[in-house]
Structure 1
Amino acid sequence: MGRLNLQRLIPALSLLGLVWTGTAPAEELDRVEPYKVLRSLQFVQDLVVLGDHSAAEMQRFMLETIDKRLRGAAPAIFADPRNVDASLIYAMSGGNPATLEFLVARDIDGNFDNRVTDALRKYLSGKGTLIANTLGDMVAEYRDTRIAPYLALVAGNVMIPRDPAKALEFYDWARLTAPGTIVEEAALRRSLAVAVEGGMVDKASAYANRYARRFLHSPYASQFADLFVQLVVEHHEAFDGSEITATLAYMDNDRQREVYLRIARQAAIKGRNELARQAADKSKLLSGTAEGADALANLYGGLAGIPTNEVGAAIAAIAAIPDEILSPSDRALRDAAAAIAEEVVRKPEPISPAQDSEPNVVPSNDESVGEAISEDVQQDPTAPPSVPAGTQPGPAELKTAGAKDPDPEFRSFVDTGRSKLDAIDDLLKQEGTN
């Protein structure tokens, strides 16, 4: 560890009853009660989610420390229920699952509740759905104990596939009984995910606001931002716009601009054009002197302008964006947008003499021409163009029509359009999965 981390470690060590001398604790860690070591771990983890990112290294140190202490402890030390609880909380706080197995195997005095340890062992091995109901019962039974908030968090995790509403109840209980801790942070973040996926717009909005107010500087806040953008884009029509402003009000200008840019990008990709334009405009207002910020807003706003009568301005805005300020994915997005815009403003090809001499091959009225092009572009490139039901010519008609290929220029236009649209579709599918 660096000097700064050693200085920050002093409060955690003081919880252990140790004095830091600069080289080693005055009292060996293997003589400290496990529950005291756990307090230091909890202290450090809470620092992390409250914004002290340098404490992440200390968290790893404390996890290693408590793991060694638990494995080296005499079995008699677990006659103290506080040390048993420390072992269980350690296992539910990112600790080594094998250590819990080790302690349970050595428990000849019955200090551990086998129901709890069996449930946690299944959960930690990825079989949590098998004990969802059991964990729910344990949350009620252990409601007033030290392990209760952690059990509620675990119960919420395993209940999501079976009963999302019940999972939210467990998360609510976990965060309300452990305010300001890593438990509350995890419960709020997971509650937001459940509510967004379930389309619970009001609940999701409330969870998002609470998270922004309390844990905006957590290292896990990027997951919150992803979920908030998903909420706004996917449920914009049911979402009160003022709630977006209220949630983002807890952020500085740079964070707000970043969120608005992400909203504009996802909205443009998913065809929420009005939302994309609004978010891009708000991002511009917050750009200040940030290099490239307006360019990205112009890109995402330009995407939204392509299907409108402002397509000319959108093309100009997109074309003016230099390559060097765009990421590879944004450059690909810009190129796709330019290709679409080119097709939107492209003038129809005049009828060639070859087309005019083959009236039986290409439909003569505008409506049927558009229908034929649409069908041809949507089909698999290797498949022949489809013919509307009821108009399939018979053998005699084919023979008299000569069954010649359409005009080469027309065929080239259709093939070019198909290849561009296929490429754009592939790009947008990839973007939609990010």
Structure 2
Amino acid sequence: MMRSRDRHNLLRSLVAGVFLAAAGNAVASEDLEPYKMIRSLQYLQDAIVAGDHSANEMQRFLLKTLDQRLRTASPDVFKDPRNVDAVFVFAMSGGNPQTLDFLAARDVDGEFDGRLARVLRRYFQGQGLTAVAAFEGLVKEYGTSPVGPYLALVAGNITANADPAKAIGYFDQVRLLAPGTNLEEAALRRSLAVILPTEPGRGFDLAAKYVRRFLYSPYASQFIDMFVQLATDDDGKGDRSRWTDVVSMMDDPRAHEFYLRVSRRALLAGNKDLARFAALNAERLSPSPGSENNAIGQLYGDLASISSSNVVEAAKSLSQIPDGALSERDRNLRAAAQKVVEQILMAPETSSVSAEPVVMPAGEAGQAATASATIPSAPAPTTSVAKPAAKTENPEMEASLQTYVEQNRMKLKQIDDLLSDEAYE
């Protein structure tokens, strides 16, 4: 049965398709008002962020058609303020900014706001910071007009780094003026980027709003990147339900991918508990037991368990992951982890001449396998299968023991490097 969201998107596409067919004929006779075409563009863009990616092609067609219509329009067309607003909205909606310059330059009747045309030109040329004060005044002046939320979004973009608090204010204004639109999607996503370093608590609220409304947007991958960072960085500072409740609103495939990415990032950060927690949830949500993504979740969970008392079980589980279910880098990662497990479980050899090998403590191996920041300069006493040899007064044996430990540290460093290669962009 077709889901409600799918039916809604299909209806959007059909309506937009009918309109565009009419638009093509109307443009030929030059009798379609630009403001009406802008409404259709907005409709398509809202459909895209709601999850109807089939509308992308229609959006490209309509932007091209609008550009042609605006450039060939007679000056009388712009005596209607709605068509003038349409030009500014077109420029800030992915249209050709040079068309705005073209029309503003040939405006002899003063229909276009020259101040707005000039500051937008500076913004499109990458010089928006030089016009911050001008944007602030224009945002207030245009307020709730059709151009207002677009201007507020642009103002938020250019002030995000210099004045995060002011940028959040602009983005909040966008969300108030244009709820449920592609403008709100952009404002939510950019708000999260701005507050991520300083206000994680508010970040969870923004993430929940985004998941409820725009999880199927083509830009959602940027949001997921930030949400993964938010969840892993916050772990241990507050209740884990702050972000797991948000994940529970996702469908299973997206929640599964999210937990995999959290597990990977937690491994890189040395947070074994979170890595295991996320890996277990990823396995629970896996579409099928033998799937590739399920194998990756199992791998991350096993890596997080190497330094625990379940090292034998983790070793067995690692060996059962089929090669075909892992990428080449994941296979290399598993092979390196298995070498560490072998070192942990290896029985010591005794010789009266050569040094007695020292088994790497489980805790130390686990730190390297989960990409901890440093490797201790000397093995710390822990419970392991074989205990390190007691201190001896034989200098030659002491030197040999130290050499062995250093050699094993090099192997552990290889895992650090492999884990670093796994860092997602």
TM-score class, shorter-chain normalisation, is 0.7 to 0.9
Task: Tell whether the 8 Å contact from 2:88 to 2:100 is kept in structure 1 after alignment.
Answer: yes
TM-score (norm 2): 0.81
* Aligned positions of 1:136-285 closer than 5 A: 136-196=136-196, 198-285=197-284
1:7-59 C-alpha deviation (Å, 9 max, x unpaired)? 9765236668x748xxx626636321211111111111111111111001111
Number of the residue aligned with 2:414: 423
For the structure 1 residues 80 and 348, does the alpha-carbon distance in structure 2 shift closer, same or farther, using more than 3 Å as the test?
farther
1:159-190 C-alpha deviation (Å, 9 max, x unpaired)? 11111122111111101210111001111111
Q: How much does 1:311 deviate?
A: 2.0
State the secondary structure of the residue aligned to 1:237. coil
1:214-273 C-alpha deviation (Å, 9 max, x unpaired)? 112211122222221111111112343223232123222222222112211211221111
* Aligned positions of 1:356-375 closer than 5 A: none
CA distance in 2, matches of 1:294, 1:14: 43
Counterpart residue type for residue 228 of structure 1: F
For the structure 1 residues 126 and 309, does the alpha-carbon distance in structure 2 shift closer, same or farther, using more than 3 Å as the test?
same
Number of the residue aligned with 1:86: 86
Moved more, 130-139 or 283-292: 283-292
Task: Tell whether the 8 Å contact from 1:354 to 1:407 is kept in structure 2 after alignment.
Answer: no
Q: How much does 1:74 deviate?
A: 2.2
Q: State the identity %.
A: 46
1:310-330 C-alpha deviation (Å, 9 max, x unpaired)? 222222222221121112332
* Aligned positions of 1:285-364 closer than 5 A: 285-289=284-288, 291-346=291-346, 350=350, 353=353
Larger Rg: 1
State the secondary structure of the residue aligned to 1:60. helix
For the structure 1 residues 29 and 145, does the alpha-carbon distance in structure 2 shift closer, same or farther, using more than 3 Å as the test?
farther
Task: Tell whether the 8 Å contact from 1:142 to 1:148 is kept in structure 2 after alignment.
Answer: yes
Q: How much does 1:427 deviate?
A: 2.8
CA distance in 2, matches of 1:259, 1:182: 23
CA RMSD of aligned residues (A): 3.1
Aligned residue-pair number: 383
Q: How much does 1:376 deviate?
A: 9.8
Task: Tell whether the 8 Å contact from 1:265 to 1:276 is kept in structure 2 after alignment.
Answer: yes
CA distance in 1, matches of 2:296, 2:44: 38
Number of the residue aligned with 1:120: 120
Gaps of 5+ in 1: 357-372, 378-402
For the structure 1 residues 8 and 311, does the alpha-carbon distance in structure 2 shift closer, same or farther, using more than 3 Å as the test?
same
Moved more, 227-236 or 334-343: 334-343
State the secondary structure of the residue aligned to 1:274. helix
Task: Tell whether the 8 Å contact from 2:41 to 2:59 is kept in structure 1 after alignment.
Answer: yes
Counterpart residue type for residue 256 of structure 2: R
State the secondary structure of the residue aligned to 1:90. helix
Q: How much does 1:422 deviate?
A: 3.8
CA distance in 2, matches of 1:252, 1:13: 29
For the structure 1 residues 336 and 96, does the alpha-carbon distance in structure 2 shift closer, same or farther, using more than 3 Å as the test?
farther
Q: How much does 1:116 deviate?
A: 1.4
For the structure 1 residues 426 and 105, does the alpha-carbon distance in structure 2 shift closer, same or farther, using more than 3 Å as the test?
farther
State the secondary structure of the residue aligned to 2:139. helix
For the structure 1 residues 117 and 314, does the alpha-carbon distance in structure 2 shift closer, same or farther, using more than 3 Å as the test?
same
Gaps of 5+ in 2: 1-8, 357-374, 380-394
Task: Tell whether the 8 Å contact from 2:12 to 2:47 is kept in structure 1 after alignment.
Answer: no
State the secondary structure of the residue aligned to 1:31. coil
Q: How much does 1:340 deviate?
A: 3.9
1:12 is aligned to 2:16: yes
Task: Tell whether the 8 Å contact from 1:311 to 1:341 is kept in structure 2 after alignment.
Answer: yes
1:253-299 C-alpha deviation (Å, 9 max, x unpaired)? 22222211221121122111111111122222222525234322211
Counterpart residue type for residue 180 of structure 1: G
Task: Tell whether the 8 Å contact from 2:168 to 2:191 is kept in structure 1 after alignment.
Answer: yes
Counterpart residue type for residue 305 of structure 2: G
Which structure ranks higher in relative contact order (CA pairs < 8 Å, sequence separation ≥ 6)?
Answer: 2
Number of the residue aligned with 1:363: none
Q: How much does 1:409 deviate?
A: 8.7
For the structure 1 residues 332 and 151, does the alpha-carbon distance in structure 2 shift closer, same or farther, using more than 3 Å as the test?
farther
Q: How much does 1:305 deviate?
A: 0.9
Task: Tell whether the 8 Å contact from 1:201 to 1:238 is kept in structure 2 after alignment.
Answer: no
Task: Tell whether the 8 Å contact from 2:144 to 2:177 is kept in structure 1 after alignment.
Answer: no
CA distance in 1, matches of 2:240, 2:376: 37
Number of the residue aligned with 1:69: 69
For the structure 1 residues 351 and 81, does the alpha-carbon distance in structure 2 shift closer, same or farther, using more than 3 Å as the test?
farther
Moved more, 37-46 or 281-290: 281-290
Task: Tell whether the 8 Å contact from 1:15 to 1:36 is kept in structure 2 after alignment.
Answer: no
Task: Tell whether the 8 Å contact from 2:70 to 2:87 is kept in structure 1 after alignment.
Answer: yes
Q: How much does 1:410 deviate?
A: 6.3
Number of the residue aligned with 1:53: 53
For the structure 1 residues 10 and 353, does the alpha-carbon distance in structure 2 shift closer, same or farther, using more than 3 Å as the test?
closer
1:79-128 C-alpha deviation (Å, 9 max, x unpaired)? 22211211111111111222222222222332222221222112112222
Task: Tell whether the 8 Å contact from 2:268 to 2:423 is kept in structure 1 after alignment.
Answer: yes
CA distance in 2, matches of 1:192, 1:203: 9
Counterpart residue type for residue 271 of structure 1: G
For the structure 1 residues 296 and 355, does the alpha-carbon distance in structure 2 shift closer, same or farther, using more than 3 Å as the test?
closer
State the secondary structure of the residue aligned to 1:228. helix
Q: How much does 1:208 deviate?
A: 0.5
State the secondary structure of the residue aligned to 1:109. coil
